[in-house]
Amino acid sequence: MKKLIVLIVIVVGVFFGLKYIGFNINYYFKNITSSKEEVVLDKVSPQQTVTVKPSEQILSVQESFEKVAEATLPSVVNIYTEQRVKVNPRFDFPFGDNPLFRDFFRDFFDTPKKREYKSTSLGSGFIITENGYIVTNDHVIKNADSISVKLSDKRTFKATLVGSDPKTDVAVIKIDAKDLKPLKFGDSSTLKIGQWAIAVGNPFGLNGTLTVGVISAKGRSGLGIETYEDFIQTDASINPGNSGGPLLNIYGEVIGINTAIIASGQGIGFAIPANMAKPIIEQIINKGKVERSWMGVGIQDMTPELAKSMGVKIDHGVVVNKVYPKSPAEKAGLKEGDVIIKCNNENVATSSELQKIVMNSKVGSELKLTIIRDGKEMTVKVITEKMPEEESISKDSLQQLKDERLGITVRNLNPDDLENFNHKNGVIVVEVGNGSLAETVGLVEGDLIISVNKRPVKNIKEFSAIMKSFAKGAIINLMVEREGDTFFVALRLN
């Protein structure tokens, strides 16, 4: 009995003890919780935070960048291109190279149709006139079947190619828009190493990106990027998608066109100088192509070894290693082995310098060359001529035509297209409108229209004239080539 009473006393004691302890723990945590203050970051005492007061000069520089961004970003555009690429599927014969089986299976399996897929790319550009002329790089729009432009206000336009110059990587496209905000060109000849350089574009498709750096170097050449190189080098970040965008000075003026990066070199980008690009752009817009001056010589840089072997004591100049027949150089009396040391009384140190002078001169200009021949200095005057077999792409060969009744856009054949078609004349369908007459009869992008009602079509001019001759309700017959096959398409004009 006593044991039972003792056990009851112990149990009761433990119960009240635990209850007391629990009460005190709750009280303790309540006090902690109630004493904890609510944190509001904006109310943290200034004396407890770390802040820095920038100098007025730093704030002024920051404000300058803000103004450049605000003023220029609306003039920079996103460029999207599409290109149709045809490939031949490969068929592997199940019996190796056995000629008996190969000849047998070729009749059934070795005639696969070319597969076609769309290749897309993106780049940047900038507006240069209020009515829609836009500058970009040639490599951004090269071989594109369609070009789309997206403005900073999200509007999207189809663009046409006005003209392009692969030798300098400059191209001009046009959109049907008004009251746009063009950028102003600056004078790239006044640039100094260390000055601010601001690159604007759409790297990796990220719209309206601005990066800041400095002019790292000028007159970069010998990079093997373009035929004519006189690049501005900058450490402002230029990434894929930036190509064709502007390189700006602190005044928001275009001093270059961003064009290239060195894949293995971080922070090294290149831009075409504004003064080199401007005359190219003007020729493309005004003439649809680029006419470039030509002397007709092959040249190479002078080296100490060459100078010693030729018996001349000079540390600069270019050596003439070829004179083309019937060229301006031949007419002026230049000979292989001549060393050109001056052009128009200015020293010529490298081949790229002489190329630049000739390229920037107008066709028919007189160039006064100071040369060394057989150890003697003399003067030769060369009258430049238009470069033969000009490689710039003309406006006429690339312009497009939209036929509203058919609902298609067509363009002329160019040399790159010829290998894809059996016929060497015609117009290529580059766009078929949704719900259009052309779509209902099965025309697709990439079709080559060879004739209309048995009337051969050589180019878009002839195609336009033929189509205009048909009245409403006329039945026409198109001869079309697609993937090596030729067929007819009949339709009635609405």
pLDDT per residue as tens, the chain (494 positions):
566 665 665 755 655 565 555 555 555 555 555 555 677 767 667 666 777 788 888 888 888 899 999 999 999 999 999 887 655 555 554 545 555 445 555 555 544 555 666 777 789 999 999 999 999 999 899 888 889 999 988 899 999 999 998 888 899 999 999 999 999 999 998 999 999 999 998 877 777 788 898 999 887 776 655 566 778 898 888 877 888 999 999 999 999 999 876 655 566 888 999 998 999 999 999 988 888 888 988 888 888 878 877 778 887 889 888 888 888 999 999 998 899 999 998 888 888 888 888 888 888 999 999 999 988 899 999 999 888 754 444 444 456 788 888 999 998 887 667 778 888 889 999 889 888 899 998 999 999 999 998 889 988 888 988 988 888 888 888 999 998 888 888 888 87
Helix or strand run (H / E) with residue 452: strand 448-452
Instruction: Kindly state whether residues 403 and 368 are assigned to the same domain.
Output: no
Exposed e or buried b per residue across 141-174, where buried means at least 16 C-beta atoms within 10 angstroms of its C-beta: bbebbbbbbbbbeeeebebbbbbbbbbbbbbbbb
Whether 301 is catalytic: no
| Inside any domain, residue 474 | yes
Rounded to an integer, what is the distance from CA 180 to the centroid of its chain? 21
Question: Has residue 24 been placed in a domain?
Answer: no
**The total number of structural domains that make up the chain:** 3
Contact 398, 417 (CB under 8 A): no
Please report whether residue 32 resides in a domain. no
Residue 50 lies in a domain: no
Cβ 411 vs Cβ 398: under 8 Å:
yes
Name the catalytic one among 169, 338, 403, 447: 169
Q: Given this model, what pLDDT does residue 461 score? A: 85
Cite the annotated binding site for substrate by residue number.
82, 139, 169, 241-243, 259-263
The reply to whether 83 and 137 lie within a common domain is: yes
Q: What is the CATH number of the domain that holds 69?
A: 2.40.10.120
**Domain, as residue range, for 353:** 294-386
Active site residue 243: yes
pLDDT the model gives residue 370: 92
Q: Which of 256, 273, 291 is the last residue of a domain?
A: 291
Both 298 and 287 in one domain: the answer is no
Residues 222 and 228 sit within 8 Å (Cβ to Cβ): no
**Same domain membership, residue 284 and residue 365:** no
Q: Does the residue 181 lie in any domain?
A: yes
Q: What pLDDT is attached to residue 12?
A: 59
Encoded tokens for 416: 């790159």
**Quick one: 238 and 381 in the same domain?**
no
Domain assignment present for residue 299? The answer is yes
Q: Beta strands of 307-387 (E only): which ranges? A: 318-323, 339-343, 346-347, 366-373, 376-383, 385-386
3-state secondary structure of 275: helix
Out of 121, 243, 352, 451, pick the active-site residue. Answer: 243
Cα 108 to its chain centre, rounded Å, is 44
DSSP 48: G
Catalytic residue among 139, 351, 392, 403: 139
Three-state SS across 399-433? CEEEECCCCEEEEECCHHHHHHCCCCCCEEEEEEC
Residue 20 within a domain: no
423 in catalytic set: no
310 shares a domain with 205: no
242 in the same domain as 353: no
Q: Is 357 helix (H, G, I), strand (E, B) or coil?
A: helix
Q: Provide the CATH number for the domain around residue 410.
A: 2.30.42.10
Spatial distance between the Cα atoms of 235 and 229, rounded to a whole number of angstroms: 18
What does the alpha-carbon distance between residue 433 and residue 404 come to, in Å, rounded to a whole number?
9
